[in-house]
Amino acid sequence: MPRFVRFSLLLLFALAPAGRAEEPKPADVQALQGLVEKTIAKAEPSVACVLVSRSDDYGLFNAAPADEGAGRLGRFNPPQQYRPGFPEGFNETDRDREMRRLVQTLDLSSPDVVPQSFGSAVVVDADQGLVVTMAHVVRNATKVYVRLPGGGSWADIHAADPRSDLAVLRLLDPPSGLRAAKVGDGSHLKKGQFVVCLANPFAAGSRDGSPSASWGVVSNLQRRASGVTSEMERPGVKPTLHHYGTLIQTDVRLALGCSGGALLNMDGELIGVTTAQAALAGSEAPGGFAVPLDAPMRRILDVLLRGEEVEYGFLGVQFQPSQRPGGAGVLLMGVAEASPADRAGLQRGDLVTTVNGAPIHDNDDLYLQIGIALAGGTARIEALDPQGRPKTCTAVLAKSFTPGKAIASHRPPARGGLRVDYVSILSQRIGLGRLPQGVAVREVAPDSPADKARVQADYIITHVDGRPVTIPAEYYDAMAKASGAVELTVTNLEGRQDVVKLDLK
């Protein structure tokens, strides 16, 4: 008998009126209770409370973020004379008193400080001190402190991705004995399956780091998020992947502060990261939602654990603005010239029915499946041509433009003073009908060889020393092998081609 069915029967027995023949044996109830307790005990040391400040006052103590844009927020160690318990002097000035008052609001490491914002997190890599939370928990943070049952630590934002709403924090001073939760497989969940949640509603664990436990069942799968959850939302743009239908719905009520908590199976494995979506949307829904750690989300999480930017897939097609009436599939109304779709053989009038084996019922399905295949990945696309004949195409995906602020602590080195990106990003931003060959200049380092050669952002580099480059990896590889003087063939936005020389000495 499947485990979740067995537990459902035990629960029904436990709730049955006294005197019925189905009244459970004490051993059955004790076994169920013992399993829940064991699940909680196994994962509890890995679940943290995240305390967040967005104050700019850290600069008064020379503790402003070293690089807020890159997530390097750093620690806060106020001068001893401003800390609680330090004897107040008779000659204390008004400024001293104001600084002491500020410390009482800024020192998140103090159990007595009430944070501006808070959430939960789960340790996923004890060796590196990495914890996963939701990106909206730490958005625009200037300082982050993570408190666990075994101690606390200031944290940097290792990586954050607005589209998956996932973020990974790096503990600057990991507590001794740090334990990572065992990550399970969220791909095979079923309705009715028992789950346990460990999180910190209303920052209940802000003083001692002890998470609160609740349990329930999986109510539904592939649910869509609702409500405005970020500044990215505007007409025609859905801010996160979860607005396309990825979430686990559970009857476990998730209040504010539960975003970033652990959703566990009865083996104590992490199968989802909770998000207080109902509360954020202002809903009174009795349950909550979690991001499943299934295969696509595990790929995204792995990128974030490496401290890298998540690059979502781009196909280069246009389609009807709504679901095709009367049947499944998405009808292509246009294919951008030289795009991944064009190179794969897709054409206007094709009806896309599956991507990498996943059925395509509407536009959201196509957006989701192409996106989670990630840039540089392949998409095996099954379609019907305008005559109804089946066709199979394999597209190597470019990169989709993602609104919002991503954070990546590990970025490619600026070879020759340049960081580059997929040219598809440029084409989406300025509306090119044809994807040009090459890579787009994303960033020019000041006083670098590229800066001295007057290379500008949004230039397109087509060749390095005569060697064609079509994706960023090819550019970085060519530049890593170059020495001395190197020639770049570039095209500006007006289409003028030129050759510039960089002195790499």
Nearest Cα to Cα of residue 240 among 306, 140, 321, 166: 166
pLDDT at 87: 63
**Residue 14 located in a structural domain:** no
Share of the chain above pLDDT 90, in %: 55
Ranges of beta strands (E only) in 40-149 are 47-53, 117-125, 130-134, 143-148
pLDDT, tens only, 118-144: 999 999 999 999 999 999 999 999 999
pLDDT at 85: 66
- Name the pLDDT band for 94 (thresholds 50, 70, 90): confident
User: What is the domain range of residue 423?
Assistant: 412-503
Whichever domain contains 209, its CATH number is 2.40.10.10
379 vs 258, more confident: 379
470 vs 430, more confident: 470
Q: Is 72 in the same domain as 113? A: yes
Q: 481-490 long-range CB contacts below 8 Å, 24 or more apart?
A: 482/416, 486/416, 487/463, 488/416, 488/453, 488/455, 488/461, 488/463, 488/464, 489/461, 489/462, 489/463, 489/464, 490/441, 490/455, 490/459, 490/460, 490/461, 490/462
**Residue 11 located in a structural domain:** no
Q: Is 190 in the same domain as 301? A: yes
Residue 432 has pLDDT above 90, yes or no: no
Distance CA 333, CA 431 (A): 16
Helix (H) or strand (E) holding 329: none
Q: Which of 134, 151, 171 is the last residue of a domain?
A: 171
Q: Which of 171, 189, 207 is the last residue of a domain?
A: 171
226 vs 57, more confident: 57
Q: Is 354 in the same domain as 439? A: no
**Residue 21 located in a structural domain:** no
pLDDT at 327: 64
Residue 420 has pLDDT above 70, yes or no: yes
- Name the pLDDT band for 81 (thresholds 50, 70, 90): confident
DSSP-derived 3-state class of residue 279 = helix
**Residue 439 located in a structural domain:** yes
pLDDT, tens only, 176-214: 999 999 999 888 889 988 999 999 888 777 778 788 888
- Strand partners of residue 130: 125, 170
Distance CA 350, CA 314 (A): 17
Ranges of beta strands (E only) in 375-438 are 378-384, 390-396, 398-399, 407-408, 418-422
Distance CA 199, CA 253 (A): 11
Q: Is 340 in the same domain as 286? A: no
Q: Is 208 in the same domain as 238? A: yes
Q: Is 300 in the same domain as 395? A: no
Residue 457 has pLDDT above 60, yes or no: yes
Q: Is 296 in the same domain as 211? A: yes
**Residue 73 located in a structural domain:** yes
pLDDT at 68: 67
Q: Is 317 in the same domain as 362? A: yes
Given a contact cutoff of 8 angstroms between Cβ atoms, the answer to whether 22 and 14 are in contact is: no
**Residue 464 located in a structural domain:** yes
Q: Which of 136, 171, 206 is the last residue of a domain?
A: 171
Per the structure, the count of domains in the chain is 4
154 vs 24, more confident: 154
pLDDT, tens only, 224-255: 776 533 323 334 456 788 888 888 889 887 77
Q: Which amino acid is at 366?
A: L
**Residue 208 located in a structural domain:** yes
Sequence-distant (≥ 6) Cβ neighbours of residue 96 within 8 angstroms: 81, 82, 89
pLDDT at 5: 41
Q: Is 252 in the same domain as 218? A: yes
The chain-wide mean pLDDT, for the chain, equals 85
Q: Is 338 in the same domain as 318? A: yes
| The pairing of beta strand 398-399 with beta strand 143-148 | unpaired
Work out the average pLDDT over 27-36: 79
Distance CA 306, CA 168 (A): 9
Q: Is 344 in the same domain as 233? A: no
- Name the pLDDT band for 286 (thresholds 50, 70, 90): low
Residue 305 phi, psi dihedral angles, 5° rounding:
-65, -30
Tally the C-alpha atoms within 13 A of residue 169's C-alpha that lie toward its C-beta.
37
Whichever domain contains 499, its CATH number is 2.30.42.10
Q: Is 73 in the same domain as 158? A: yes
pLDDT at 222: 81
In 45-79, which positions are buried (b, 16+ CB within 10 angstroms) versus exposed (e)? bbbbbbbbbeeeebebbebebeeeebbbbbebebe
Work out the average pLDDT over 250-270: 88
pLDDT at 322: 57
Lowest mean pLDDT among 21-35, 278-292, 440-454: 278-292
Assign residue 268 a region (left: φ > 0; alpha: ψ between -120 and 50; beta: otherwise). Answer: left
- Name the pLDDT band for 89 (thresholds 50, 70, 90): low
**Residue 10 located in a structural domain:** no
Distance CA 42, CA 183 (A): 12
